[in-house]
């Protein structure tokens, strides 16, 4: 019985295809929200893309005091050169135009072949500064 439990756990830990794993990155970014380039983050629903992470970071203002920072590397076949998530032109969701996967602003897939959410980085608001870490 113990052997079955252990082997079952080992199998469950390895159930994710290595092709669907976003490479690791050290993230420690700070942006000044009063800078002109981050003006869209003054409004709920505003987004901006910055450098950092694996393929960049997409920042979304969810509420008056909550920001979400997503890795722009798509969770479906993230090793592909074109696996890059951006905000769709309507501004209602995020999309990877390469594989056509779509994601909501909680980071979860809503269409296309992606089944894993986008990587979400930690954010903390310190006065006018937004700190993004992992």
Q: pLDDT by residue (tens digit) across 68-85?
A: 999 999 999 999 999 999
Query: Could you give the CA distance from residue 56 to residue 72 in angstroms, rounded to a whole number?
Result: 5
Helix (H, G, I), strand (E, B) or coil at 65: coil
Provide CB contacts within 8 A for 65, sequence distance 6+: 125
Task: State the pLDDT confidence band at 17, using cuts at 50, 70 and 90.
Answer: low
Q: State both tokens at 44.
A: 């709920």
pLDDT exceeding 90 applies to what percent of the chain? 84
End-to-end CA distance of the chain: 38
Joined together, the tokens standing for residue 118 give: 């986008």
Q: Which residues pair with 93 in a beta bridge?
A: none
Domain residue limits, the chain: 21-133
In the CATH scheme, what is the code of domain 21-133? 2.102.10.10
pTM of the predicted structure, to 2 decimals? 0.85
């Amino acid at each position: 019985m113990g052997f079955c439990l252990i082997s079952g756990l080992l199998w469950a830990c390895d159930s994710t295809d290595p092709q669907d794993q976003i490479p690791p990155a050290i993230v420690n970014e700070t942006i000044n929200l009063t800078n002109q380039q981050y003006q869209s983050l003054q409004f709920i629903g505003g987004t901006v893309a910055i450098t950092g992470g694996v393929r960049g970071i997409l920042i979304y203002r969810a509420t008056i005091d909550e920001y979400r920072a997503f890795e722009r590397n798509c969770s479906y076949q993230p090793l592909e050169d074109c696996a890059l998530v951006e905000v769709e032109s309507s501004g209602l969701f995020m999309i990877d135009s390469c594989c056509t996967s779509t994601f909501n602003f909680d980071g979860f897939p809503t269409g296309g072949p992606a089944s894993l959410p986008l990587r979400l980085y930690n954010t903390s608001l310190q006065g006018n500064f937004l700190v993004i870490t992992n």
